[in-house]
Structure 1
């Protein structure tokens, strides 16, 4: 196939080539001189395929063993294609709404084209067509799922493409049973892929080297474990934590200075185990609490003999519409809010001098006092369970007290007018 022209592909799209045999280290070169190596994989039907995700417009060339050589043109990204998610290192400045706050680099995510990204996650089991269709009507833009071992990868990658077209990121959990070089080479061309390394991989440099070697696109990469897991290694882009106390987010953020995702804090459901039989109010409360500690908390559901988080299908619990409401609140938040530990009795994120969101959880506070610089501000009282927002009249400045209905699961939003 020397010199054979290939079809055009969009930026961050998937170029697929059929090769005459297995080939490692086919080198792709961009017009600006950057080079990336990709390897072929068997597709289960006797073919050897090679995939590549170009990250820049213009002409690309490739060359490898067995006479593999050619070129293709990379065009502009299509509508809705923002590229893979990366870490965003922008800071928000020091100080808070009068009381100081945390600022750190790399605590946020963005797409490769610079568009901000905030994960709203869920854990699913089998990702079939019904599951993808269900996800299209949920607030979730990130799913945690496990790649099948052996056969089943062809159907799995079709589901990845469908999730990509819906704007949903997929954190693919790898296991010790996977042929990691083949799986990573096969899936790395999908821009919506994140990697979750096999259990214990933070202590196994060989496994990590395999993932990095075959992932030319440098997708986000993590391990999943308890709070004592060593998430500090530089190759870990974000922490995927198992912890039922979501207020640990603030502490972990201070320690690691990287995004914290509580990916297993329990599940709404009726399973026989305590961690998988949470009432919906508790599931929603944990997610609000973790978000207002400056992190991200992943939803899970475990009802019936085929629960969503084990088998896919369709979520049936009461959490999902309330998480859609939370997403509406957070999507209207200014960029890069930070947890402010000064509000020790109520989880709080803020954008200094401009915005504050405070979650009161199970406490029935009759009022809350704030001292804010400048002003004026607008104040909203949010009923997180009943999904209602009540704007308090007037312009608020200086030192003031916000009256509350003394009910559980309320939040306060303060925005510069």
Structure 2
């Protein structure tokens, strides 16, 4: 794109802008937060999505040189990269060059990925619009999807971490991606994490149409929803029970309604039942001869109740009929 038509000189950088960005990255680091920096996006009104390969390279070299020394930086090549092709901003063929350039210019080897567009009527049953995540310089999958059942399969297919950067947001706006309930948001987290993936929280509450009040998803500020408290509770449960990561279980057989993961030391199994309400369960996917004690986790009320039964793979056990429960097992033999 001709810089004359946008009012920007793509060859000259504004140091004060990037100094401000650096300070925000430092602020995030002080809070223990990783900064997944989006380099390009389709919602562009200034021409930066249409600069062309030479200026793209110039921009990438500058921003990587400035920011690669920050330990909390990740690189996200684009938000909804494939939508940029539909809008005529960048061809799909451009991303291999962009990704390789970021990777080659970064001496610190930060995490690097790219994020897809997701329209459920079009993309619900396919991953054809995903970038080729088998590229050696891609460190993890950064996906937008609500297909939370497929995490174990994708882990097996790609042998890389699976991050749901968008699994819908808790909020009240008019779009399906931003009007999920708090319970729906928490449900997605349990189903993704206990199948071995990772999930990103987002919140899109407004007080009125065309609001001028900051929306947390875009501007930060005040969290007004209820899901983040329950997500923190899940994180605490995982941390105190040795789940540095999750090995998915029960991925075959008649257990599609469960999300089940085992701790790396094999001492704990965490099974999420969700909005299903069985009164009797049998965990026939458990390792042979293992015996476990159990806690019933109320994921919404954030409580834990000891179950006075011993659990193994051969016997049914009784649980209260209630939605949004999980069973946390601890090996005792």
Higher RCO (C-alpha 8 Å, min separation 6): 1
Give the drift of 1:167: 1.8
Give the drift of 1:359: 0.8
Secondary structure at 1:258's aligned position in 2?
coil
1:321 equivalent to 2:229? Answer: yes
Match of residue 214 from structure 1 = 105
The two structures, once aligned, show a CA RMSD in angstroms of: 2.3
Q: Where do residues 250-269 of structure 1 align in structure 2 (5 Å cutoff)?
A: 250-269=152-171
Match of residue 347 from structure 1 = 259
Deviations 1:91-134 (A, max 9, x none): xxxxxxxxxxxxxxxxxxxxxxxxxxxxxxxxxxxxxxxxxxxx
1:231 equivalent to 2:231? Answer: no
Q: Where do residues 180-329 of structure 1 align in structure 2 (5 Å cutoff)?
A: 180-198=60-78, 199=81, 203-204=93-94, 205-225=96-116, 227-228=127-128, 229=130, 230-304=132-206, 305=211, 306-329=214-237
Count of residue correspondences = 272
**What are structure 2's unaligned runs of at least 5 residues?**
1-10, 42-47, 49-55, 83-89, 118-126
Give the drift of 1:168: 1.4
Greater strand percent: which structure?
Answer: 1
Greater Cα shift, 353-362 or 370-379? 370-379
1:361 paired residue among 258, 274, 288: 274
**What are structure 1's unaligned runs of at least 5 residues?**
1-40, 46-150
Q: Where do residues 131-210 of structure 1 align in structure 2 (5 Å cutoff)?
A: 152-175=17-40, 177=48, 179-198=59-78, 199=81, 203-204=93-94, 205-210=96-101
> Using the alignment, how far apart are the partners of 1:338 and 1:277 within structure 2?
31
> Using the alignment, how far apart are the partners of 2:267 and 2:302 within structure 1?
23
> Using the alignment, how far apart are the partners of 1:393 and 1:309 within structure 2?
43
Match of residue 124 from structure 2 = none
> Using the alignment, how far apart are the partners of 2:25 and 2:266 within structure 1?
41
Moved over 6 A (4+): none
Residues 319 and 310 (structure 1), Cα distance of their counterparts in 2 relative to 1, 3 Å cut: same
> Using the alignment, how far apart are the partners of 1:345 and 1:234 within structure 2?
34
Greater helix percent: which structure?
Answer: 2
Match of residue 292 from structure 2 = 377
Give the drift of 1:171: 0.8
Secondary structure at 1:285's aligned position in 2?
helix
Residues 183 and 292 (structure 1), Cα distance of their counterparts in 2 relative to 1, 3 Å cut: same
Deviations 1:9-48 (A, max 9, x none): xxxxxxxxxxxxxxxxxxxxxxxxxxxxxxxx98846xxx
| 8 Å CA contact 2:270, 2:329 repeated in 1 | yes
Residues 319 and 235 (structure 1), Cα distance of their counterparts in 2 relative to 1, 3 Å cut: same
Residues 250 and 385 (structure 1), Cα distance of their counterparts in 2 relative to 1, 3 Å cut: same
1:411 equivalent to 2:326? Answer: yes
Give the drift of 1:349: 0.8
Match of residue 51 from structure 2 = none
